[in-house]
Amino acid sequence: MIRRIDKTMTVWIDDRLAAHGLSYSQWVALKLVADGYASNPGMLARDLGYSTGAVTRLIDGLEQRGLMARDRAAGDRRVVSLVLTDEGAAQLNALAPEVLDPWNDVLEEFNDDEGELLVGLLNRLLKAAERKAAGALNEAVGA
């Protein structure tokens, strides 16, 4: 069911973002970097559930559009941090309603208590899944 919800919402939000030339995955990547959840390509790959190659292509596209940049460490150029450009931050904020409004539309089917319970249970499910699958997750992103 979680996979079907994700697919349904992705199609809906991709359709809304298409007019702005951005995909839902690209917007989520910008959001993860902006919020500090993914400060490097490996972390972004893990959080998106993508291969490192797919994330490299995603970052390349965002860089070409001037929305994200790779910041290489002066002492070791192999160390790469991801940062949003000013334009990337502006796009993230400007397009937030295109992403959040569909989710809010769906969640208005729930009262406040149900919404809080749902979020709490999903967080618990995520933490349990991450704990149980930690080894496989690390191998998938080359950590």
Long-range contacts of 8-17 (CB under 8 A, 24+ apart): 9/102, 9/103, 9/106, 12/102, 13/98, 13/99, 13/102, 16/98, 16/99, 16/102, 17/95, 17/98, 17/99
User: Collapsing DSSP states into helix, strand and coil, what is residue 80?
Assistant: strand
pTM of the entire structure?
A: 0.84
Q: Where are the domains of the chain?
A: 2-109
pLDDT band at 139 (very low <50, low <70, confident <90, very high): low
What's the rounded mean pLDDT across residues 62-76?
88
More confident residue, 88 or 80: 88
Average pLDDT value for the chain: 91
**Which residues fall within 8 angstroms of residue 126, CB to CB, at 6 or more apart?**
none
Residue 15 has pLDDT above 70, yes or no: yes
Domain 2-109 CATH assignment equals 1.10.510.10: no
